[in-house]
Structure 1
Amino acid sequence: MTEEFEEELTDDQIDRYARHLVLPEVGEEGQLKLLNSKVLVIGAGGLGSPLLLYLAAAGVGTIGVVDDDKVDLSNLQRQVIHDTDHIDHPKVQSASARLKAINPDVTINTYEFRLNDTNVDEIVQAYDLVADGCDNFKTRYLINDACYRQKVPLVSAAIMRFDGQLTTFRAFEDDDKPCYRCLFGDEQIAEKGSCADVGVLGALAGTMGSLQSVEVIKELLGIGESLENTLLLYDSLGTSFHRMKTKRDPACTLCGNK
């Protein structure tokens, strides 16, 4: 089957994306690039909610949503893509309905199951970029490894209590760029508590998910300064950002010197 690509904007799209079109860094060419882009979002929860909303609003043409969970009352403190009427509904269905209501230009692919070793590569390779907003280390490592193998950029965010972090991984490129394992080691030494155990400020998810959407759009358009080789740390109680330089670990079991 031949893929269809948008080659020019309709009158409605010119109105919808008017604030993008007047940006020299975006313009019509950039908006068409977004409309023809494919982004896979892992998790339709706290981070995924603002991320998905802003990607759809921006006109990212194909968005994949991976989540095997159902909407729970305790989610609504931070997962703003869902509402009370969708409690007990699959998150991917709730998110898809909301995104289609926001922007009919966007195609939503839903994956109502957990990623594993047998399905992750096939799904990842169908997208231009992956945005990871999941809530467990096992999936983060799985996604990191698949993106490295499939040579797909990965924009990764995480939150806990009052703190957030954000970075972009392109370790498959031939230079000093790290992967997730370079920064955080292997699974057996990286397990920590979860938000369910220690809590999380609901609005923090909005902050970090929105920042993540900006980085995704920058990567798709090739504008601005990438967060590759940089780990951005946000302390919401101190209202402070800290940028930490990162580099490949030669001993990394995935991308290090073999």
Structure 2
Amino acid sequence: MAEQNPGWSGDAQSFYHEFTLRNAGFISDKEQQRLRQAHILIAGCGSTGGSVIEVLVRSGAEQLALADNGSYELNNANRQNMVLTDVGRSKVDVFHERMSQINPFVQIDGYANGITPDNVDALVEWADVIIDAVDVTGRSGLEMKFLLHEVAHRNQKAVICGYDMAAAQYVPVFDYRDGTLPLMAGLLNAEEVATLDPLQACARLIPDEFIPLEMFDELARHQQGKDYTSQLCLAANLFGVLGSTLVLDILNERAVETDNYVDLWSLMRKPQASDDQARDEAAVSELRSGLRAWANGPGGDSDPFFLERSLRHYQLPLMPELHNYRDQLLTERAGISAFAIPHEQLAGPLARQLLRFAFVHYARVGFINPDQAARRLLHHEPLSNLSPQDVHLVLIDTQSSQLLGYSTLKAPLSDNLPFSSTERPHYGVEQAFGRDLFAGVDELQGIPVAAVREIGRVTKAELDDPVLNARVGIMLLSAYRQVVSDSRYGISAFVGDGEKNVTLRNLTFFGFNPQLLPARESCLPADHLYHHRYVGRDVRPFWLLLADINQARADEVEALLDLDDNALLAALNASRSNAAKELEAQL
């Protein structure tokens, strides 16, 4: 890399020594090395985030991740680090190029989609300190800001924010490192993010005394329909200095102020005459009261396009970490690896990826209640919906580690009660269709609850390759068969629900012989996250005994994996057709 920069011909170490020489005396060698090695995430590379990047690089930071989904426009030039030839270019790409011209050894990872539900966990986990400069003038930015803080709060990382207003810069620090600070300091919750005007939400995050007088006229213009926010280079560049100072102090474990504020005009302009000032103070007090009433006012409806934004950049994840779970490997066949991993043994980030995979699938087929997802800002089911004893059945491509299929073998709800007990908790399918759902199924009544499992989250990747898609489906069923046949789990029966032409047909064609219960209406409330799964669809509850599995048919279906492509598809279509006829006979 250094050979491409005629200004320097030495190695990285000698470059860094010379590059940071003038820091010596004010920044110790130990502090300088911490800055050099620190992983710094800058979320948002516009006016505030962009101002801090160059200061950090010139100060000696060499490990940066930049996330911004924007490109430069001419009206950015009054305050952002750009030139005319950058118009239309990605901000991430421009900074990568320009910072490399300052320090040829700087390591910059760019994320041109910005912060998304699918990269935020990995970025926050990587980072030692986080700069939150996400543009919150729109709904999507506010949502991603909140998500960034959610993940930082969970991972106990410090977050430095910036708000440029007129000639002032407000820099709060959300120091989540010791686990005592509430998410966003308790100033904003998920439903408020979902329903408040973005500037209304921002006003809740900024103390009244840190909103400069000039912003009141700007807020009035916004409420009258102005479709952009005025910003000055004076304030934006302040963040580069303030934010970089805080980064260095946080990395070196120095205590910092949680509220930092500089108003250049207030600081540098002479005060007005006392009689004018008194008159102004009364007017300002009235303005601040009005602003606070507006900020604390009610929100409106949630945004109906939340799920669309959440799914926009989703790509099937690579999960090479699963190869570390060799003890839970069920089989490797047809280029697919199948795992059965108890939830209590699976790393949290991997579990969230699996829940996200299922959530995206359910959202795309219309199972998710969009209003509930928006109001709770859900990009996947909460991890709290899983039990430590739940078993994740996961299929990945053996070579690439791409996620191909996922389902959950839900844990028993009680270890000591019989299935017939009125005191046992409800299964999920009973929550959907009623507590009396299995009352007439004599075969289940004498079985211990611990021996009855529930099928959940049966999802496959949306693949263009019909042969691979077929093999994934067979492997997922085969994985279920292997797990339920394992005496360690002590399983005697399954319960669940599914649509006739999807889950129920597949279970039948594999030989599981699901016993369908009479059709009935769902009793899930309209505001339930999965209410839409049961609206306008023929979703049937079922049960099955493992003793009734047609093992010979299951062997025949698994043997299809050894056929070549055309033969596999032909045989599969015939088997599924027969399964559909068997189901029709039950109906």
In the superposition, the TM-score normalised over structure 2's length comes to 0.36
> In 1, are the aligned partners of 2:44 and 2:114 still within 8 Å (CA)?
no
1:215-234 matches, within 5 Å, as 215-223=246-254, 225-227=255-257, 230-234=258-262
Give 2:187's match in structure 1, choosing from 170, 183, 187.
183
What residue number does 2:21 align with? Answer: 18
> In 2, are the aligned partners of 1:47 and 1:133 still within 8 Å (CA)?
yes
Q: 5+ unaligned residues in a row in structure 1: which ranges?
A: 1-8, 241-252, 254-258
CA distance in 2, matches of 1:47, 1:89: 18
Please tell me whether residue 237 in structure 1 is matched to residue 261 in structure 2. Answer: no
Cα displacement (A) at 1:178: 4.6
Cα displacement (A) at 1:89: 0.9
The one-letter amino acid paired with 2:259 is L
Match of 1:125, SS state, is helix
CA distance in 1, matches of 2:227, 2:112: 21
Cα displacement (A) at 1:50: 1.9
Please tell me whether residue 167 in structure 1 is matched to residue 176 in structure 2. Answer: no
CA distance in 2, matches of 1:159, 1:184: 20
1:100-115 matches, within 5 Å, as 100-115=100-115
Greater mean alpha carbon deviation, residues 131-140 or residues 57-66? 131-140
Deviations 1:120-143 (A, max 9, x none): 112211111110112112222121
Cα displacement (A) at 1:221: 2.3
> In 2, are the aligned partners of 1:165 and 1:231 still within 8 Å (CA)?
yes
CA distance in 2, matches of 1:34, 1:149: 24
> In 2, are the aligned partners of 1:162 and 1:236 still within 8 Å (CA)?
yes
Give 1:154's match in structure 2, choosing from 152, 156, 159.
159
> In 2, are the aligned partners of 1:184 and 1:190 still within 8 Å (CA)?
no
The one-letter amino acid paired with 1:45 is G
Higher relative contact order (CA 8 A, sep 6+): 1
Change (3 A) 1:88 1:32: same
Cα displacement (A) at 1:191: 2.3
In the superposition, the TM-score normalised over structure 1's length comes to 0.79
Change (3 A) 1:21 1:196: farther
CA distance in 1, matches of 2:196, 2:115: 21
Change (3 A) 1:64 1:196: farther
> In 1, are the aligned partners of 2:167 and 2:234 still within 8 Å (CA)?
no
Change (3 A) 1:64 1:174: closer
> In 2, are the aligned partners of 1:40 and 1:64 still within 8 Å (CA)?
yes
Equivalent residues, number: 226
Name whichever structure is richer in helix by fraction.
2
CA distance in 2, matches of 1:10, 1:35: 11
What residue number does 1:125 align with? Answer: 125
Cα displacement (A) at 1:236: 3.1
> In 2, are the aligned partners of 1:170 and 1:178 still within 8 Å (CA)?
no
The one-letter amino acid paired with 1:116 is T
The one-letter amino acid paired with 2:184 is Y
CA distance in 2, matches of 1:15, 1:196: 47
Deviations 1:147-197 (A, max 9, x none): 11122211111123333211211235144x354252345413462168962
CA distance in 2, matches of 1:167, 1:32: 26
CA distance in 1, matches of 2:178, 2:196: 26
Please tell me whether residue 67 in structure 1 is matched to residue 74 in structure 2. Answer: no
Change (3 A) 1:71 1:104: same
Match of 1:52, SS state, is helix
4+ residue runs over 4 A deviation:
193-196
> In 1, are the aligned partners of 2:156 and 2:179 still within 8 Å (CA)?
no
What residue number does 1:55 align with? Answer: 56
Greater mean alpha carbon deviation, residues 107-116 or residues 192-201? 192-201
The one-letter amino acid paired with 1:165 is Y
